[in-house]
Amino acid sequence: MALYTQEITYHVGGKTFKGYFAVDQNNSGLKPGILIAPEWWGRNEYAKGRAEQLAKQGFAAMAIDLYGDGKVAETPEEAGELKGAARNEEGAIEARFMAAYAALSERADVDDNQMSALGYCFGGAVVLAMARAGKELKVVASFHGVLQTETPLSKDAFAGKILVFNGADDPMVTPEIVSDFKAEMDAADADYELIDYPGVLHGFTNPAATAKGKATGMPLAYDEFADTDSFARTLSALNS
C-alpha cells in the first residue's frame, strides 16, 4: 500500500476551507469517494485518521472542513463558538459540504457515482441533513450524531442507505429522540438502520473521548466494541 495524503483547498463565500484527502495510490482505477464530516472539534487529527483508515480500505476519503482554514477547537467553549457561527450563517453548512463534495468528486481518481458521507457528533447531524436534502449519496452514516431536525425527510427524497450508530446511554440523544427519528424514517419509507449500543456514551468511536470527557466534564467515553462494530457495518454497506 502507498498511502498518499494531501490538503485540498476549496472556497465558499470568499472563505478558504481545507479538506484532508487520503488515498492508496497502489489501488488503481476509480475509487468510491467518502466525505468525513468531523466532530464539533473540527477537522482534527482524529478526523484525518478516519480518512486514512478508509483510504486503506480502498476508498478516496476526505475529512472536510466546516469552519474554514482548518480551524480546530481545543475546548468545548471554542467548539461551541465555531459550530454556532457555522450554523447561524444561513445555508453555510450545506454550501460548505457541497463545496467539499465537488472538490472530491471532481478528482480524476474518484468515481463520482459512488459518493458517500460519514459524520461524527456534529458531523453526524451534517450528513443526516444532506440526506434529508436529497443529496446524491450512496451511504450516509452518523456516529453519535444529533438526530433532531426541523426539516424531516420526505418520502422518496433520498435514494441512499442511512445508517445511525448511537450510544444508548448518551444523554444528548434521549430515547424519545431516537423514537422520533425512527418515526421520521418510517414515515419517509427510508432505507435505514439504527443501532443503539447498550451502556455506551457519546463520542464512542474516538479513542480520545474518555480522557476528553474527564477533562471537560462531558458525557464522553470510548467504546471499543461499538467503534469496531459500527465501522464494520459501515464498510459492509459501502461495499454492497
Q: What is the pLDDT of residues 97-116, one digit of tens each?
A: 999 999 999 999 999 999 99
Query: Is a pLDDT exceeding 90 seen at residue 121?
Result: yes
Query: Is a pLDDT exceeding 80 seen at residue 157?
Result: yes
Beta bridge partners of 6: 21
Q: Provide the pLDDT for residue 25.
A: 85
Please state which of the four CATH numbers 3.20.20.70, 3.60.110.10, 2.60.40.2140, 3.40.50.1820 is assigned to the domain occupying 3-238: 3.40.50.1820
Residues 6+ apart with CB under 8 A from 177: 147, 148
Q: Whole-angstrom Cα distance, residue 137 to residue 185?
A: 17
pLDDT band at 155 (very low <50, low <70, confident <90, very high): very high
Spatial contact of 118 and 49, defined as CB atoms under 8 Å apart: no
Torsion of CA 130, 131, 136, 137, to 10 degrees: 100
Residue linked to cell 480524476 = 108
Q: How many CB atoms lie within 10 A of CB 174?
A: 12
Helix (H) / strand (E) element for 176: namely helix 175-187
Q: Provide the pLDDT for residue 29.
A: 87
pLDDT band at 193 (very low <50, low <70, confident <90, very high): very high
Query: Is a pLDDT exceeding 80 seen at residue 54?
Result: yes
Residues 6+ apart with CB under 8 A from 155: 187, 188, 189
Q: Provide the pLDDT for residue 27.
A: 79
Query: Is a pLDDT exceeding 90 seen at residue 28?
Result: no
Q: What is the mean pLDDT of the chain?
A: 95
Provide the whole-model pTM: 0.95
Query: Is a pLDDT exceeding 80 seen at residue 1?
Result: no
At 51, the amino acid letter reads: A
What is the average per-residue pLDDT within 135-146?
A: 97
pLDDT band at 35 (very low <50, low <70, confident <90, very high): very high
